[in-house]
Structure 1
Amino acid sequence: MRTTIFGSILLIALVTGCRTIARTPVDQTLDRFHAAAARADEKIYFDCFAPEGVFLGTDATERWDVPSFRAFAHPYFSQGKGWTYTSSDRHIAMAPSNDLAWFDEMLQNDKLGTCRGSGVLRLINGEWKIAQYNLSIPIPNDHAKTVVEMIRTAAATQKTK
């Protein structure tokens, strides 16, 4: 009897443990967005944005609407140069109306290391589109004071030029 119970528990654990969790349509849009950037696929990348979409970059001056961001990215994408951010630990929440979602995700990038992406998507004609994407670099609290001082110094240097 104990063998049967143990065998049943083991079978249930194996079946449920190996089950693939379905990616939500919001996940799929974000995955498509990151994959297109890595392939330098300008069309698919910018098709992921809502018409009023905004991209906020890591620099305080980087706030781009879609046409401005496309103009910035085009020279890179046209040369086959994209950027690779590998997503992990993604969290998605949905508005009660089911037509608005917001997310945050941890990202890995060869140049910038650990980053965070966050933003808002909205459902447009049955497709999830990015209304806002915010790329940031999380700063460990123990280093925040030093980093803030570096930013202030850089800003002061920029003003004197």
Structure 2
Amino acid sequence: MKSIYTLLGICIFVFGCQDHQNKHAEENNSDELIFVVDMSVNGKSKAEVATFTEYYTAQVEKNEPSSMGWGFFESGEKVILIERYKNADAMINHATNVSAGGILEEAFAQFNSFFTIDMISIHGNISDELKETLSNFPFPVAYNEAYANYSRMISNVSTSPMTIDLVSLESEANTFIDNQFNFFYESSLETAQNTFSFDAVLIGTDAAEYYSGWEAMKTSIEGQLSIENPMFTHSNRNVIISSSGDMASYTQLLNFSFEVDGESMSVENVRNSGVIQKINGQWKIVQIHWSIGVQGQAVSY
């Protein structure tokens, strides 16, 4: 009987430790800063705003590990941006990143083409260094010091590895690749915009068709939507999915038939390759390439 109680005690201890490991560790962070940015939209459509804000949010998340949260929110005809930083140093780092020579300089220039900042309301304990940094930007700022506050920093201390179902994700990727030309069938620029990431690269069959970013490729795609009765069929597809499950590359051959001014046309054995990425839960084209092979050798070797 004594051995049974001993075994039971060991089991309780072991499972109790495992349960403790799977809980989240909490740490109070009274230095958190919250920025509430009130912005007007500079003549962009809702679809354009949605695509760009998705891109910009991903850039901040990727490059600024000390940013605790970031979100664009629709507010009538305006947009509210809420930024959360671990502390003043994290925000100063962001200011450096969006300044000349910073890793987000180009993205921030695009940001300013989309939005006009009407007011930045900062909540938290603001250092003099941060105030000096922000004085270099031409935006109206209101400072709101904290009386009392807390902010929970939660980190998962579980040692259990995350399981990634690569088979299901590869199936998802294939479905997206099957449907990536739906914007042709729908003759929809909005569907096309939702298909590409904001910073996607498109390389076409014509010498001039090398576009970097949605704004650069938009006019070309809009012109292509004038074709009628498009039809795509594919063969020889090969898909390689990343170990993280959020990116895939593919190659395939395409046959493309369509009509222009009532005349039927077709192009066969178009070599199509691309890279797609799952961004905020949705697959997007981040790079796509079309080419048509020439007979014989273009370059002798």
TM range (shorter): 0.5 to 0.7
* 1:33-89 deviation line (CA, Å, top 9, x unaligned): 223223322221221111111111012331113222211222443x46474332222
1:67 aligns with 2:215: yes
| TM-superposition CA deviations, 1:131-153 (whole Å, max 9, x none) | 000011134xxx323xx38xxxx
Q: Which has a greater percent of helix?
A: 1
- State the alpha-carbon separation in 2 of the partners of residues 75 and 59 from structure 1: 14
Q: Is the 8 A contact 2:200 2:287 kept in 1?
A: yes
Q: Distance in 2 between matches of 1:121 and 1:144?
A: 32
- Structure 1 segment 3-152 matched on structure 2, within 5 A: 24-65=171-212, 66-77=214-225, 79=226, 81=228, 83-110=230-257, 111-139=266-294, 143-145=295-297, 148=298
How much does 1:112 deviate?
2.1
Question: Could you list the per-position Cα deviations for residues 87-144 of structure 1 after superposition, in whole angstroms to 9, with x for gaps in the alignment?
Answer: 22221101111111100011002332211110101110111111000011134xxx32
Give the stretch that moved more between structures: 45-54 or 22-31: 22-31
Aligned to 2:293, what secondary structure does the other structure show?
coil
Cα distance in structure 2, aligned partners of 1:82 and 1:56? 23
Give the length in aligned residue pairs: 122
Aligned partners of 2:195 and 2:284 also within 8 Å: yes
Alignment partner of 1:69: what SS? helix
Contact 2:238 2:250 in 1 (8 A): yes
What is the identity, as a one-letter code, of the residue corresponding to 1:96? S
Q: TM-score, normalised by structure 2?
A: 0.37
Superposition RMSD on alpha carbons, in Å? 2.4
Distance, in Å, in 2 between the alignment partners of 1:36 and 1:112 is: 19
* Contact 2:182/2:191 (8 A) holds in 1: no
In the aligned structure 2, how far is the partner of 1:144 from the partner of 1:93? Answer: 29
**Residues 82 and 63 (structure 1), Cα distance of their counterparts in 2 relative to 1, 3 Å cut:** farther
Gaps of 5+ in 1: 1-21, 150-161
Structure with the larger RCO, 1 or 2 (CA within 8 Å, 6+ apart): 1
CA distance in 2, matches of 1:115, 1:42: 23
CA gap of 1:67–1:84, structure 2 versus 1, over 3 A, is farther
Identity %: 23
Measured in 2, the distance between the counterparts of 1:41 and 1:93 equals 29
Structure with bigger gyration radius: 2
